[in-house]
Amino acid sequence: MATILVVDDSVSSRNCTAALLRADGQQVLCADNAWRGLTILESMPVDLVILDLQLPGMNGFGFLKDIQQNRKLSSLPVIVATGLDVNPELWLSGQPHVRQWLSKGKFGGDDLLEAVHGALGAKSAVTSAA
């Protein structure tokens, strides 16, 4: 069982994602904005973050910049799940900790779980190689 932080200001998206992950046997923490997400990351160990980019206050890009600059968090895997209309291939090239980009409205529960299992598996491989 992994601990996964879901950072999304949409109550319905956050609740649906959390329910799917819990049904998969994961422990889920939720934050409705980037600041709360960063507070959770500073206070407890998390194995993976699922992040929306369109957040009130500090957006998801700011959140990613903060974790990238924090030595403790810089290797934390992130899955971006957002409705933001940007070209993910161009954007992902500068974000080594982002494991996958999912566009809201274009992915289902199976796609999310596949991304989660892939990101957690990659983290395990890195941890056991260290």
User: Average model confidence (pLDDT) for the chain?
Assistant: 87
Q: What is the pLDDT of residues 85-99, one digit of tens each?
A: 766 665 665 666 688
Residues 84 and 19: their CA atoms lie apart, in Å, by 23
pLDDT of residue 110: 92
Closest by CA position to 80, among listed 112, 58, 109: 112
Tokens of 14: 């956050």
Q: What is the pLDDT of residues 3-44, one digit of tens each?
A: 999 999 999 999 999 999 999 999 999 999 999 999 999 999
Residues 88 and 23: their CA atoms lie apart, in Å, by 28
Supply the pTM of this predicted model: 0.87
Q: How many domains does the chain have?
A: 1
Q: Token match 């895997």: residue?
A: 77
Give the range of the structural domain holding residue 40, as residue numbers without chain letter: 3-129
Which CATH number belongs to the domain containing residue 22 in this structure?
A: 3.40.50.2300
pLDDT of residue 101: 78
Tokens of 3: 């601990």
Q: Which residues is 28 bridged to in the sheet?
A: 4
